[in-house]
Amino acid sequence: MDSKARSSDKASQEMIGWMAENNQQNAWDRFEAQSPQCGFGRLGLCCRICSMGPCRIDPFGEGPQAGVCGATADTIAARNLIRMIAGGAAAHSDHGRDIAHTFKMAVESDKSDYMVKDERKLKEVAARFGIEIKDRKIKEIGLDLANAVLKEFGKQEGTLITAAAYPPKARQEAWKNLGVTPRSVDREIVEIMHRTHIGVGSDYINLVKQGIRASLADGWGGSLIATELSDIMFGSPQPIRFGVNLGVLDKDQVNVIVHGHEPTLSDIVVQVAQDKELLKLAQEKGAQGINIAGICCTANEILMRHGVPVAGNFLQQELAVMTGVADVMLVDVQCIMPALGSLCECMHTKLLTTSPKCKIAGAEHIEFHEDKAVETARKIIKIAIENYTNRNGQACIPKHKERGIAGFTTENTFYHLGGRFRASYRPLNDNVINGRIRGAAGVVGCNNPKQIHDSCHIEMMKELIKNDVLVVSTGCGAIAAAKVGLMRPEAAAQYCGKGLHEVCETVGIPPVLHVGSCVDNSRILTVLANVVAEGGLGEDIAELPVAGAAPEWMSEKAVSIGMYFVASGVFTVIAEPLPVVGAPNLHRYLTEGIEKDVGGKWAFEKDPIKAAHMMIEHIESKRDALGINEEKERKLYDMEDRRALKVE
Ligand code: NFS
């Protein structure tokens, strides 16, 4: 077992070795045990939607070319693909719905543990929903917004309000022409399940169209709602320093690791961990304090708002437990490996599940209800404190940790480029137009044991910033970047091309910007909408010199995200191909034909440097089309000219 072939992250390499020494299995071992994986599945050629099957298509053209019902490779792969989108959109959007319920509870009651923390954002979002603001109380506006937002999930008529209020008009026109304007969040997901049932649609393009529609209901709907309401309720992020990697765990403190996706409980856990009574209790047990650290997107949520340290990304969840100092692993929903159950049983770590949607064998279930948030959080921290004394065996905490800055948002960051007193998107657009920044790329998404952990994210990001492409990141990709220092402002001098370096240095930002969790990919959409609105770079997102990538993706959520970026007009490269490679027409449509319908398209490329250059090439072609690549004569200023310049 070569730990360097598994992860490029030193802390992870150390822990992978430590797991092997202790005969503990991890995701990489299980991945090996699964190899070779099913070729039919990988190509997308296996159908088990009805019980005449399972059927499979022979990719070599010798065996069957249709399932029992007559479904071809294109039909089968398209159905499977859009069912993945349904899964991903459902996960994001159900998260959004839960936040909306908590928000409603907060504005309805005076006793709630939650409140409106960002009144300005509340008013801005309410105005987008057409809610009356003037002279009204915050709670009244909030209640109207909560009700309006909750309707977005299940309404039967009309179209999604957010999909009309946020994207550029030209984008909305493109969706209208194709017939993919999302109507309501749940409806699009349900319709995927209906359309993919045996004997409904078989036309692969028509199937993909519904996938597009549901993904748009995710990105511009459920996810966007999750982000906006989280900002209102937990506070809009501001640039904040943080520590990252397994080295943030502290053997002398009670360590509570929060893992999953929702900020609702973890935000309260962070507050409660500072409670004097609980700190005293921890000291009585011999601990120096209570240390909260996060994994995956729960980490990103509380990092963005409180600077809580990040222990690691998706493939580090087992490694964190293996340190022997995780007193509680507190999980909510999504990206939680069932393997944690048996691993925690071997260690002293208490695995606590909290959502009725997510119970795990081997875990203790402490059900979380929003109306008892503080009470539940206290109970959990007490369990961790009690468990501190049960630590047994050797602690193995890698020393590696990095520092960085996170907390960038649509509202704060890009206005920052204009300086505090001239806040606008103008300087960002101008720097793109003058070519200092060639364009921007979103490099986001998961880890996948099919790639060397973190390495694809990091290599791709370095190549992009070297070529003056500003990178924004979310999810596990952002954590990968932070671990190698790409989120330190000093990284600009070390890794960027001249133009991007100049901009980063002037504004004081790192070249890779952490914009949050995966539902916060909606922030990238709203940044793009604002860039279009600012003017000078075309009328539509599809005209912008931007690209997207998920170089280590694995989840269904990533498929939904990729599809809503493509359908918003963004060229998107992923490493592991979508499971459509065995379906020639569908494959061609997603990587070519779809562009004329939605402005964006997919590409599959495993080599992160090659993929980065595909993105750069795309960005340059968009610059050419905008006419901003023509060499302009540079004016050299002498002292006389400088004096004549007016200071505004
Ligand atoms: Ni996104 Fe965030 Fe990570 Fe992938 Fe999972 S945590 S929601 S799905 S693995 S980036």
Dihedral angle over CA of 497, 499, 504, 506, nearest 10: 140
pLDDT at 602 over 60: yes
36 C-beta neighbours (distance < 10 Å), count:
6
Q: How confident is the model over 449-463, as a mean pLDDT?
A: 98
Closest C-alpha among 303, 329, 301, 333 to residue 316: 329
Residue whose Cα lies nearest atom 4 of ligand 1: it is: 446
Q: Among 93, 301, 314, 315, which is best to mutate for testing ligand 1, by the most ligand atoms less than 8 A from CB? A: 314
447 CA distance to ligand 1 middle (Å): 8
312 CA distance to ligand 1 middle (Å): 12
Pairing of strands 326-331, 310-312: unpaired
630 CA distance to ligand 1 middle (Å): 40
258 CA distance to ligand 1 middle (Å): 14
Q: Which pLDDT score, from 0 to 100, does residue 413 have? A: 80
379 CA distance to ligand 1 middle (Å): 28
Q: What gap in Å lies between CA 245 and CA 252, rounded to an integer?
A: 17
Q: Which pLDDT score, from 0 to 100, does residue 637 have? A: 63
pLDDT, one tens digit per residue, over 264-280 is 999 999 999 999 999 99
pLDDT at 135 over 80: yes
296 CA distance to ligand 1 middle (Å): 6
Categorize the per-residue pLDDT at 393 as very low, low, confident or very high, splitting at 50, 70 and 90: confident
Residue whose Cα lies nearest atom 9 of ligand 1: it is: 446
What type of residue is 331? V
Q: Which pLDDT score, from 0 to 100, does residue 421 have? A: 57
Q: What gap in Å lies between CA 213 and CA 505, rounded to an integer?
A: 40
pLDDT, one tens digit per residue, over 190-229 is 999 999 999 999 999 999 999 999 999 999 999 999 999 9
Ligand 1: nearest atom to the Cα of 477: 10
pLDDT at 181 over 50: yes
Count CA within 13 A, CB hemisphere, residue 539.
6
Q: What gap in Å lies between CA 102 and CA 505, rounded to an integer?
A: 40
Query: Higher model confidence: residue 507 or residue 136?
Result: 136
Phi, psi at residue 621, to the nearest 5°?
A: -70, -35
pLDDT, one tens digit per residue, over 518-552 is 999 999 999 999 999 999 999 999 999 999 999 99
Residue partners of 568: CB distance under 8 A and separation at least 6? 167, 171, 216, 219, 220, 525, 528, 541, 542, 598, 599, 600
Categorize the per-residue pLDDT at 648 as very low, low, confident or very high, splitting at 50, 70 and 90: very low
Mean model confidence pLDDT for the chain: 95
Categorize the per-residue pLDDT at 647 as very low, low, confident or very high, splitting at 50, 70 and 90: very low
Q: Which pLDDT score, from 0 to 100, does residue 5 have? A: 97
Question: Do residues 198 and 79 make contact, with C-beta atoms less than 8 angstroms apart?
Answer: no
Q: Does domain 246-388 have CATH number 3.40.1160.10?
A: no
What type of residue is 480? A
* Residue count of the chain: 648
Q: Which helix (H) or strand (E) holds 259?
A: strand 254-260
Categorize the per-residue pLDDT at 282 as very low, low, confident or very high, splitting at 50, 70 and 90: very high
Residue whose Cα lies nearest atom 6 of ligand 1: it is: 296
3-state helix, strand, coil in the chain (%, to 5): 50, 10, 35
Ligand 1: nearest atom to the Cα of 314: 9
Q: Which residue intervals of the chain bear CATH 1.20.1270.30?
A: 73-234
Closest C-alpha among 74, 15, 516, 21 to residue 315: 15
pLDDT at 596 over 90: yes
Q: Which residue has the tokens 């990697």?
A: 245
Residue whose Cα lies nearest atom 2 of ligand 1: it is: 297
Q: Which pLDDT score, from 0 to 100, does residue 638 have? A: 66
Q: Which residue intervals of the chain bear CATH 3.40.50.2030?
A: 246-388, 406-626
DSSP assignment letter at 328: E
Binding pocket residue ranges, ligand 1, CB within 6 Å = 261, 296-297, 314, 335, 445-446, 475-476, 517-518, 555, 557-558
375 CA distance to ligand 1 middle (Å): 29
295 CA distance to ligand 1 middle (Å): 10
Select from 3.40.630.30, 3.40.50.2030, 3.30.465.10, 3.40.50.2300 the CATH code of 406-626.
3.40.50.2030
Class of domain 73-234 as given by CATH:
mainly alpha
Ligand 1: nearest atom to the Cα of 553: 4
Q: How confident is the model over 11-31, as a mean pLDDT?
A: 97
pTM: 0.95
Residue whose Cα lies nearest atom 5 of ligand 1: it is: 335
Q: Which pLDDT score, from 0 to 100, does residue 394 have? A: 84
Categorize the per-residue pLDDT at 417 as very low, low, confident or very high, splitting at 50, 70 and 90: low
592 CA distance to ligand 1 middle (Å): 27
Q: How confident is the model over 240-262, as a mean pLDDT?
A: 97
Question: Do residues 337 and 317 make contact, with C-beta atoms less than 8 angstroms apart?
Answer: yes
